[in-house]
Structure 1
Amino acid sequence: MNVSNMEQKQVRLKQFLKKLSEDPSLLNQERQEDSRSLAEILMLTGYTPRNEPVDMAELVSLLLKKVGHEACSKGMMEHVMNGGTVDEFMNIGK
Protein backbone atom coordinates (compact mmCIF):
# COMPACT_ATOMS: atom_id res chain seq x y z
CA MET A 1 0.00 0.00 0.00
CA ASN A 2 1.51 3.32 -1.00
CA VAL A 3 1.79 6.25 1.38
CA SER A 4 -0.90 8.44 -0.21
CA ASN A 5 -3.41 5.56 -0.10
CA MET A 6 -2.58 4.98 3.57
CA GLU A 7 -2.93 8.69 4.28
CA GLN A 8 -6.31 8.77 2.52
CA LYS A 9 -7.51 5.85 4.65
CA GLN A 10 -6.34 7.60 7.81
CA VAL A 11 -8.15 10.81 6.85
CA ARG A 12 -11.33 8.85 6.06
CA LEU A 13 -11.11 7.00 9.37
CA LYS A 14 -10.73 10.29 11.26
CA GLN A 15 -13.78 11.68 9.45
CA PHE A 16 -15.76 8.54 10.31
CA LEU A 17 -14.78 8.70 13.98
CA LYS A 18 -15.72 12.39 14.10
CA LYS A 19 -19.15 11.58 12.64
CA LEU A 20 -19.57 8.78 15.17
CA SER A 21 -18.72 11.18 18.00
CA GLU A 22 -21.48 13.49 16.77
CA ASP A 23 -24.07 10.74 16.15
CA PRO A 24 -27.12 11.56 18.28
CA SER A 25 -28.17 7.91 18.35
CA LEU A 26 -24.97 7.06 20.23
CA LEU A 27 -25.61 9.69 22.90
CA ASN A 28 -28.46 7.69 24.44
CA GLN A 29 -27.30 7.27 28.05
CA GLU A 30 -29.69 4.38 28.80
CA ARG A 31 -27.83 2.08 26.44
CA GLN A 32 -24.53 2.54 28.22
CA GLU A 33 -25.78 0.27 30.99
CA ASP A 34 -25.68 -2.58 28.47
CA SER A 35 -22.07 -1.92 27.45
CA ARG A 36 -19.58 -4.77 27.59
CA SER A 37 -15.83 -4.93 27.95
CA LEU A 38 -13.62 -5.64 24.98
CA ALA A 39 -12.80 -9.05 26.46
CA GLU A 40 -16.51 -9.92 26.63
CA ILE A 41 -17.06 -8.78 23.05
CA LEU A 42 -14.11 -10.86 21.85
CA MET A 43 -15.51 -13.92 23.60
CA LEU A 44 -19.03 -13.27 22.31
CA THR A 45 -17.90 -13.07 18.69
CA GLY A 46 -15.26 -15.79 18.87
CA TYR A 47 -12.65 -13.36 17.54
CA THR A 48 -9.20 -14.41 18.67
CA PRO A 49 -6.33 -12.11 17.72
CA ARG A 50 -3.04 -13.94 17.99
CA ASN A 51 -0.44 -11.57 19.45
CA GLU A 52 -1.56 -8.79 17.13
CA PRO A 53 -3.73 -5.69 17.48
CA VAL A 54 -7.49 -6.21 17.39
CA ASP A 55 -8.87 -5.47 13.91
CA MET A 56 -11.82 -3.33 14.97
CA ALA A 57 -13.40 -3.46 11.50
CA GLU A 58 -13.39 -7.25 11.66
CA LEU A 59 -14.72 -7.22 15.21
CA VAL A 60 -17.59 -4.90 14.27
CA SER A 61 -18.41 -7.12 11.27
CA LEU A 62 -18.53 -10.16 13.55
CA LEU A 63 -20.76 -8.33 16.00
CA LEU A 64 -23.12 -7.30 13.22
CA LYS A 65 -23.39 -10.91 12.07
CA LYS A 66 -23.94 -12.03 15.65
CA VAL A 67 -27.00 -9.78 15.95
CA GLY A 68 -28.33 -10.96 12.59
CA HIS A 69 -27.30 -7.98 10.47
CA GLU A 70 -26.45 -8.74 6.85
CA ALA A 71 -23.97 -5.89 6.34
CA CYS A 72 -20.40 -5.53 7.56
CA SER A 73 -18.40 -2.71 9.12
CA LYS A 74 -17.66 -1.26 5.68
CA GLY A 75 -21.39 -0.89 5.03
CA MET A 76 -21.88 0.79 8.40
CA MET A 77 -19.02 3.17 7.70
CA GLU A 78 -20.49 4.09 4.30
CA HIS A 79 -23.91 4.69 5.85
CA VAL A 80 -22.50 6.98 8.54
CA MET A 81 -20.22 8.80 6.09
CA ASN A 82 -23.27 9.51 3.92
CA GLY A 83 -25.01 11.23 6.83
CA GLY A 84 -26.86 8.32 8.43
CA THR A 85 -26.84 7.29 12.06
CA VAL A 86 -25.82 4.00 13.62
CA ASP A 87 -29.43 3.44 14.78
CA GLU A 88 -30.71 3.89 11.23
CA PHE A 89 -28.11 1.48 9.96
CA MET A 90 -28.98 -1.13 12.56
CA ASN A 91 -32.68 -0.86 11.73
CA ILE A 92 -32.12 -1.16 7.97
CA GLY A 93 -30.43 -4.55 8.22
CA LYS A 94 -33.04 -6.27 10.36
Structure 2
Amino acid sequence: MNVSNQEQKRVRLKQFLKILSEDPSLLKQDGQVEMRTLPELLAAVGCRLRNEPIDMAELVSQLLGKLGLQACSSDMMEHVMNGGTVDDFINTSKQ
Protein backbone atom coordinates (compact mmCIF):
# COMPACT_ATOMS: atom_id res chain seq x y z
CA MET A 1 0.00 0.00 0.00
CA ASN A 2 1.46 3.36 -1.04
CA VAL A 3 1.08 6.28 1.28
CA SER A 4 0.70 9.59 -0.51
CA ASN A 5 3.33 12.30 -0.15
CA GLN A 6 0.71 14.55 1.46
CA GLU A 7 -0.07 11.87 4.04
CA GLN A 8 3.65 11.39 4.77
CA LYS A 9 4.01 15.14 5.37
CA ARG A 10 0.97 15.15 7.65
CA VAL A 11 2.33 12.25 9.72
CA ARG A 12 5.79 13.85 9.92
CA LEU A 13 4.31 17.20 11.02
CA LYS A 14 2.20 15.47 13.68
CA GLN A 15 5.31 13.67 14.96
CA PHE A 16 7.30 16.94 14.96
CA LEU A 17 4.59 18.78 16.92
CA LYS A 18 4.47 15.96 19.48
CA ILE A 19 8.24 16.14 19.95
CA LEU A 20 8.04 19.95 20.26
CA SER A 21 5.35 19.63 22.93
CA GLU A 22 7.80 17.55 24.98
CA ASP A 23 10.87 19.75 24.35
CA PRO A 24 12.19 20.73 27.80
CA SER A 25 13.77 23.89 26.37
CA LEU A 26 10.30 25.20 25.50
CA LEU A 27 8.82 24.71 28.96
CA LYS A 28 8.30 27.93 30.89
CA GLN A 29 10.82 28.13 33.69
CA ASP A 30 11.17 30.53 36.62
CA GLY A 31 12.62 33.84 35.51
CA GLN A 32 11.92 33.14 31.85
CA VAL A 33 10.28 35.85 29.75
CA GLU A 34 6.61 35.21 29.03
CA MET A 35 5.76 33.54 25.71
CA ARG A 36 4.81 35.82 22.83
CA THR A 37 1.38 35.71 21.21
CA LEU A 38 0.91 34.98 17.52
CA PRO A 39 0.09 38.65 16.72
CA GLU A 40 3.30 39.70 18.53
CA LEU A 41 5.35 37.19 16.52
CA LEU A 42 3.78 38.37 13.27
CA ALA A 43 4.50 41.99 14.19
CA ALA A 44 8.13 41.07 14.90
CA VAL A 45 8.60 40.07 11.26
CA GLY A 46 6.50 42.94 9.90
CA CYS A 47 3.46 40.87 8.99
CA ARG A 48 -0.10 42.03 9.61
CA LEU A 49 -2.73 39.64 10.97
CA ARG A 50 -5.49 39.24 8.40
CA ASN A 51 -8.29 36.78 7.82
CA GLU A 52 -6.06 34.48 5.78
CA PRO A 53 -3.98 31.39 6.56
CA ILE A 54 -0.59 31.89 8.17
CA ASP A 55 2.38 29.96 6.81
CA MET A 56 3.91 28.92 10.13
CA ALA A 57 7.03 27.49 8.46
CA GLU A 58 7.69 30.86 6.82
CA LEU A 59 7.00 32.68 10.09
CA VAL A 60 9.51 30.48 11.96
CA SER A 61 12.09 30.99 9.20
CA GLN A 62 11.64 34.76 9.41
CA LEU A 63 11.91 34.71 13.21
CA LEU A 64 15.12 32.68 12.97
CA GLY A 65 16.41 35.31 10.55
CA LYS A 66 15.55 38.03 13.07
CA LEU A 67 17.78 36.16 15.53
CA GLY A 68 20.57 36.45 12.97
CA LEU A 69 20.48 32.79 11.93
CA GLN A 70 20.89 31.57 8.36
CA ALA A 71 18.84 28.45 9.16
CA CYS A 72 15.20 27.95 8.22
CA SER A 73 12.22 26.14 9.72
CA SER A 74 12.98 22.91 7.87
CA ASP A 75 16.52 22.94 9.32
CA MET A 76 15.05 23.33 12.80
CA MET A 77 12.49 20.59 12.15
CA GLU A 78 15.23 18.20 11.02
CA HIS A 79 17.32 19.00 14.12
CA VAL A 80 14.37 18.40 16.47
CA MET A 81 13.31 15.22 14.65
CA ASN A 82 16.84 13.89 15.14
CA GLY A 83 16.60 14.31 18.91
CA GLY A 84 17.81 17.88 19.41
CA THR A 85 16.05 20.69 21.25
CA VAL A 86 15.04 24.11 19.95
CA ASP A 87 17.55 25.77 22.31
CA ASP A 88 20.36 23.52 21.04
CA PHE A 89 19.41 24.36 17.48
CA ILE A 90 19.44 28.11 18.09
CA ASN A 91 22.70 27.98 20.06
CA THR A 92 24.54 25.84 17.50
CA SER A 93 23.19 27.86 14.56
CA LYS A 94 24.55 31.09 16.06
CA GLN A 95 28.11 29.77 15.96
Equivalent residue of 1:89, what SS?
Answer: helix
Measured in 2, the distance between the counterparts of 1:66 and 1:74 equals 16
TM-score (norm 1): 0.86
Quick check: 65-74 or 3-12, which moved more? Answer: 3-12
- 3-state SS of 2:4 partner: helix
Given the alignment of the two structures, is residue 15 of structure 1 paired with residue 40 of structure 2, yes or no?
no
Deviation at 1:38, TM superposition (A): 1.1
Q: How many equivalent pairs are there?
A: 91
Task: Return 5+ residue gaps in structure 2 as ranges.
Answer: none
CA-to-partner distance for each residue in 1:43-79, whole Å, 9 max, x for gaps? 1101346642111000000000001111000000000
Q: Secondary structure at the match of 2:6?
A: helix
In structure 2, the CA distance between the partners of 1:12 and 1:70, relative to structure 1 (3 Å rule), is same
Matches within 5 A, 1:4-43: 4-30=4-30, 31=32, 33-43=33-43
Where is the helix percentage greater, Structure 1 or Structure 2? 1
Q: Where do 5+ consecutive residues of structure 1 fail to align?
A: none
Provide TM-score, normalisation by structure 2: 0.85
